[in-house]
Amino acid sequence: MISTLKVLIFVTRKWIRVYAVVCLVVLVYAMASLDVRKAAAMVDAATIEKLEAGFSKLQASDSKSLLKKYLTKEVFDALKNKKTSFGSTLLDCIQSGVENLDSGVGIYAPDAEAYTVFADLFDPIIEDYHNGFKKSDKHPAKNWGDVETLGNLDPAGEFVVSTRVRCGRSLEGYPFNPCLTEAQYKEMEEKVSTTLSGLEGELKGTFYPLTGMSKETQQQLIDDHFLFKEGDRFLQAANACRFWPSGRGIYHNENKTFLVWCNEEDHLRLISMQMGGDLKQVYKRLVTAVNDIEKRIPFSHDDRLGFLTFCPTNLGTTVRASVHIKLPKLAADKAKLEEIASKYHLQVRGTRGEHTEAEGGVYDISNKRRMGLTEYDAVKEMYDGIAELIKIEKSL
Ligand code: ADP
Ligand code: DAR
């Protein structure tokens, strides 16, 4: 009896020791994996150092960017240790604006989560750029409106050289440029090319990868305002040009009145354009195309921010409606032209868009804001504003 008891005690003690060792191993493993997860969630020292240096450079500069205006020390300290689940840091958001002090905005979202994780910086910039779209505001549902209510801005062809309406779209399930792998670029290009090959009628066209495109063809398309330019320093500094030209390309129909940019600044830019001022025809073509393509491929959309894009200036409707226009009398005083244009929420840019000069007196004038209003409102804002500018030009 006693010997049985002794054996029982011995075996029990043995199992307690084994159990204790197992618990210890599990605890050490759990702590180790917690450390790994914490380390992965933490921003590394080298990034923090670059952030501190970038913040000091920005503060010491006379930059007029929205980044400088809203990246206060308080916001900087609150955000510098944050990361998205894609591993994006505050540095990924602001590096373009730090490197290019002449940026107008200076910030991009490396992935969609960045708009939430770094909301303390994105929200005031969005509110400033999109004419008071507050963090408590919700972007309205997509509404292309009644295309028949628009018309031709310049039937006599005195002022408007060409008219263009574009929107941006991000493919669901993919982050933005800085987080994309080369394989994802190629996968997206294949998806887009296959999807667009199904378009019929006026929209029927061909996808042309940038890889393998002759420099002459590429330059001609850029010169004719059909293709995005290469080597944009703002996008390069934002890490948006990696693996170039992999995954980049352009789709267009025979007349080059419907075009799609693949993986330039955004995953997609859907573009309708033509010579002259017939905004109704240009807008109608874009609406038909977007409605058709949206049936074939899911796009990233946020309940509050609307359609998601790499740059916060393009969120919401993502619509830019623009004219290439000559207003010689008004443009004689550029500051005056910009002042009048801003009254109609219009943005005046050079012939080749952002950060370019007018060539031959041709300005790119478009709606500035894209959030807090519908697609139709954004285009109508341009339509009404340009009509006013032409009226003033005629009165001078
Ligand atoms: P972003 O909004 O990213 O600056 P855009 O959508 O404005 O880019 O596209 C800029 C390009 O589109 C420039 O190359 C510019 O020449 C061209 N573009 C813009 N508006 C017109 C227009 N009305 N006619 C012809 N080309 C245009
Ligand atoms: N060039 C950058 C971006 C401004 C908005 N234009 C875009 N997203 N294409 C700047 O901050 O000036």
CATH of residue 375: 3.30.590.10
Residue 291 CA to ligand 1 center (angstroms) comes to 22
What is the pLDDT at residue 32? 65
Is 22 part of a structural domain of the chain?
yes
Task: Report yes or no: 337 and 327 within 8 Å, Cβ to Cβ.
Answer: yes
Q: Both 70 and 167 in a single domain? A: no
Q: Both 125 and 52 in a single domain? A: yes
Q: Both 91 and 68 in a single domain? A: yes
Is 141 part of a structural domain of the chain?
no
Is residue 320 among the annotated active site residues?
yes
The closest alpha carbon to 84, from 35, 122, 135, 49, belongs to 122
Residue 157 CA to ligand 2 center (angstroms) comes to 31
Q: Both 167 and 274 in a single domain? A: yes
Q: Biggest alpha carbon distance in the chain?
A: 118
Top mutation candidate among 58, 234, 347 for ligand 2, by most atoms within 8 Å of CB: 234
Is 142 part of a structural domain of the chain?
no
Domain span at residue 7 reads: 1-41
Is residue 296 among the annotated active site residues?
no
Binding residues for ATP: 162-166, 225, 269, 320-324, 349-354
Ligand nearest to the CA of 363: 1
Is 90 part of a structural domain of the chain?
yes
Atom 3 of ligand 2 has which residue's CA nearest to it?
105
Is 135 part of a structural domain of the chain?
no
Using CB atoms within 10 Å of the CB of residue 388, give its burial: 0 to 12 exposed, 13 to 18 middle, 19+ buried.
middle
Q: Both 180 and 253 in a single domain? A: yes
Task: Say which residues have a Cβ less than 8 Å from residue 282's Cβ, sequence separation at least 6.
Answer: 163, 164, 165, 257, 272, 273, 274
Q: Both 299 and 378 in a single domain? A: yes
Q: How many domains does the chain have?
A: 3
Q: List the chain pLDDT tens, one digit each, 396 residues.
A: 678 778 777 777 887 787 877 777 777 776 666 665 665 678 999 999 999 999 999 999 999 999 999 999 999 999 999 999 999 999 999 999 999 999 999 999 999 999 999 999 999 999 999 999 999 999 999 999 999 999 999 999 999 999 999 999 999 999 999 999 999 999 999 999 999 999 999 999 999 999 999 999 999 999 999 999 999 999 999 999 999 999 999 999 999 999 999 999 999 999 999 999 999 999 999 999 999 999 999 999 999 999 999 999 999 999 999 999 999 999 999 999 999 999 999 999 999 998 899 999 999 999 999 999 999 999 999 999 999 999 999 999
Regarding the beta carbon of 311 and ligand 2, being less than 6 Å apart is answered yes
Is 97 part of a structural domain of the chain?
yes
Ligand nearest to the CA of 309: 2
Which position has the token pair 């054996």? 7
Is residue 304 among the annotated active site residues?
no
Q: Both 256 and 385 in a single domain? A: yes
Q: Both 224 and 156 in a single domain? A: yes
Q: Both 333 and 267 in a single domain? A: yes
Q: Both 215 and 349 in a single domain? A: yes
Binding residues: 162-166, 225, 269, 320-324, 349-354
Residue 365 CA to ligand 1 center (angstroms) comes to 9
Atom 3 of ligand 1 has which residue's CA nearest to it?
265
Of 103, 129, 155, which residue sits at a domain end?
Answer: 129
Q: Could you say which of 93, 179, 262, 311 is catalytic? A: 311
Q: Could you say which of 84, 195, 313, 317 is catalytic? A: 313
Percent of the chain with pLDDT over 90: 89
Q: Both 33 and 49 in a single domain? A: no
CATH, residue 61:
1.10.135.10
Residue 355 CA to ligand 2 center (angstroms) comes to 9
Is 54 part of a structural domain of the chain?
yes
pLDDT tens, position by position, 339-384: 999 999 999 999 999 889 999 999 999 999 999 999 999 999 999 9
Is 140 part of a structural domain of the chain?
no
Q: Both 352 and 379 in a single domain? A: yes
Is residue 242 among the annotated active site residues?
no
